[in-house]
Amino acid sequence: MANIIYPFSINTAVAGDGIYGSLEVDGDLIFDYKKYCNLSYINKLLKNNTIYPRFRIFMCNPDDSYAYQIPSRDIVSGGSYSENYQNGQRRSLSFTLLNNDGKYTPGVNSIWANTKIALEAGLKIPDFDGVLWFKKGIFIVTKVSPSRSSDNATVNVECGDKFSIFESKRGTLTETTEIPEGISIQDIINDILGTDAGDGYVFDSRPIVYSPAFKGRITPTKLVGSSGSTWGEILMQLCEMLSAEMFYNAEGRLVFVPLVETIDDSSKPVIYDFVDKNGDFQNENFSFDMGSFINKIVVVGASINSRLVTAEAINDDPSSPICFQKIGYRIASPINDTNITTDTLAQERADYELRKAILATASLNSDTFFNPSLSVNNLITYTDSFFSLKRERLLLQSLSFSLDYSGLMSITACNIKNLPFVN
């Protein structure tokens, strides 16, 4: 069994969260991987309108390496995977295993607390007996539910991505923790991940993906974590100090990327063009939350040398249907964050929050065909003759699919600038 893995980046703005594809074919090594591991070939497969989804689940070692693959015959069709665009935990996974022989009954030598799981989703290539695989994350088991009936025994497994470690009881602070001003933020993050978890392992031994833009950044103020809070809260505060997005990528590495890069949609390629005439989607639902329209954000940071750090971001684009000139000011509650210590950081935060607010005002929910190359905070286009939409650029906010052979998935996407229909 050949298994060649080559990374190729889809979203260069979100460092480290590109697509990692591997082409696996019985008996043959495929060296011409560039023919298959690229967007044009993936899109060609998808446009054939015959989708062959494949899934595989691995039990992992503490260092995230694969221990063994769970046989597909043991996996009950119909589990679920979801991914949401947010800081912290983004991915979740649930599945059910057949347990008639008892080998998956929860226990320290089977599936238990701290057990790591990896998911890969794939597309069968009809040209030959091969599957193009995509990593979808490393997960921590959070809940196990064994059951038995007169017909069979099963174990349902629920998982969160690795950030759940820092938000769980494992990541609880037993005493007040203070991090002084002037300490390297990168060193603090590495120290947190390298914390002894008490079972002979550290929280996470994988190296982080840390943007070069953050090199040399230090804590601008003292950071305090109270007893009973979590390392997840500390990481969130460090994230705010950096003016960054933070999440675990598809390879299971913790990523820190500048907000100014994540909101620069101009640098992102379009992953797929959805067209109604091609039968690309069904069950469309648009939502316009007019009561939540926001076109002005005010950020208030720390007091530095008796001067309050502040910034504001305003939607004054005359082509936008929710700019203040057309609907008046719609102002969000001021954001107060003492981790913001410079005008630049304040402005980055204001711009980021305004973008989030604009994205939240209108969304599209749709069922479409299974496409494992999709990931959140990437662009798609949407063409729908009924709604007079032509290559409307949308940002993926969430996606989910069942671990079955239906060939479908659900997506939520938002317009990156102007609302659909309204000009």
Tell me what pLDDT residue 418 has: 55
Cα Rg, the chain, nearest whole Å: 23
Q: Tell me the residue type at 95.
A: F
For the beta carbon of residue 269, count every other beta carbon within 10 angstroms.
Answer: 12
Residue 45's φ and ψ, nearest 5 degrees, are -60, -45
Per the structure block, which two tokens stand in for 368?
């479409």
| pTM recorded for the entire structure | 0.88
Tell me what pLDDT residue 398 has: 95
Report the C-alpha gap between 196 and 162 in whole angstroms: 16
User: Which residue matches tokens 């480290």?
Assistant: 16
Where are the chain's structural domains? 265-415
Which residues lie across from 182 on neighbouring strands? none
Tell me what pLDDT residue 128 has: 66
**With contact defined as beta carbons under 8 Å apart, do 111 and 141 qualify?**
yes
Tell me what pLDDT residue 4 has: 32
Displacement of CA 387 from its chain's centroid (Å): 29
Question: Among 45, 14, 2, 75, which Cα is nearest to 250's?
Answer: 14
Report the C-alpha gap between 104 and 298 in whole angstroms: 52
| CA 222 to each of CA 186, 215, 227, 234, 309: distance values in angstroms, whole numbers, following the listed order | 15, 19, 16, 12, 17
Displacement of CA 175 from its chain's centroid (Å): 31
Tell me what pLDDT residue 49 has: 63
Tell me what pLDDT residue 356 has: 85
* Residue 42, H or E segment: helix 39-46
Residue 386 buriedness (CB in 10 A; 0-12 / 13-18 / 19+): exposed
One digit per residue, pLDDT tens: the chain, 423 residues?
333 333 333 333 333 344 444 444 443 434 344 555 667 777 777 777 678 899 999 999 999 999 999 999 999 999 999 999 999 999 999 999 999 999 999 999 899 999 999 999 988 877 666 788 889 999 999 999 999 998 899 999 999 999 999 999 999 999 999 999 999 999 999 999 999 999 999 999 999 999 999 999 999 999 999 999 999 999 999 999 999 999 999 999 999 999 988 888 777 778 888 888 888 888 888 888 888 899 999 999 998 888 999 999 999 988 888 889 999 999 999 999 988 999 999 999 999 999 888 887 778 899 998 998 899 988 898 888 888 888 888 899 999 999 998 889 999 998 776 544 444
Report the C-alpha gap between 4 and 137 in whole angstroms: 18
Tell me what pLDDT residue 156 has: 97
User: Which residue matches tokens 């938000």?
Assistant: 167
Question: Among 334, 252, 262, which Cα is nearest to 299's?
Answer: 334
Q: Tell me the residue type at 294.
A: I
Tell me what pLDDT residue 417 has: 64
Report the C-alpha gap between 361 and 370 in whole angstroms: 26
Tell me what pLDDT residue 146 has: 96
**With contact defined as beta carbons under 8 Å apart, do 188 and 180 qualify?**
no
CA end-to-end distance (rounded Å), the chain = 55
